[in-house]
Amino acid sequence: MNISFIYSYSSLLFEIGTKEKKIKTYYKQACFLVDVLTKTDLANFLSNLSIDKEQRKKVFKSMFQKKLETKFIYFVWTIIDFNRGDYLEKILRSFLSIYDDYFSINFVKVYSAFALNSKHLNDIKKVLTQKYKKKIILQNIIDPSVIGGIKIESKYMSIDNTFKKKLEIIKQKSIAPIQQRS
């Protein structure tokens, strides 16, 4: 199935937000709605063709009229009108990605066995900002399975300097000669 319409919708929302000078508001609202979509069955409801479109739009408006801009609600209504409700989350995530690229923002996850202190996080942020020439927003994720070291991931990079990864490499190197002999 051709899903090129996802970018069309998301870039349209970005254009509307920019034109209306509400792009940051739309960004926050898109984040909010993505969160709702991931935690509920709202996407299933919005894409349910056995429920009249007008009823789905009415329910959506009643749920979000105090939390979303009117034009943002109308944007979602357009998605409902074209029976694309099951793609709403992907459309909004695409919009968020366009926003991040436009404003040179890079979200980075830093995995470590324990919480990193602010000095370490600031050092990582400084290096990544200089390297990628983007605003870096870090999220420290505690993952005891890394044992030690850190793993850094974003849509632009993946750096795995963990003991876990080093042990995997050692294991692969020690297994390879045994497999070659067999």
Indicate whether 182 pLDDT > 60: no
pLDDT tens digit sequence for 129-175: 998 888 999 999 999 988 888 999 988 788 898 888 888 888 888 77
Q: Which amino acid is at 7?
A: Y
> In the prediction, which pLDDT does 65 show?
94
Give 54-57 contacts, CB < 8 A, sequence gap 24+.
56/80, 56/85, 57/81
* d(C-alpha 154, C-alpha 100), whole Å: 12
Per-residue pLDDT averaged across 11-15, rounded?
Answer: 96
Q: Give me the residues paired with residue 112 across strands.
A: 142, 150
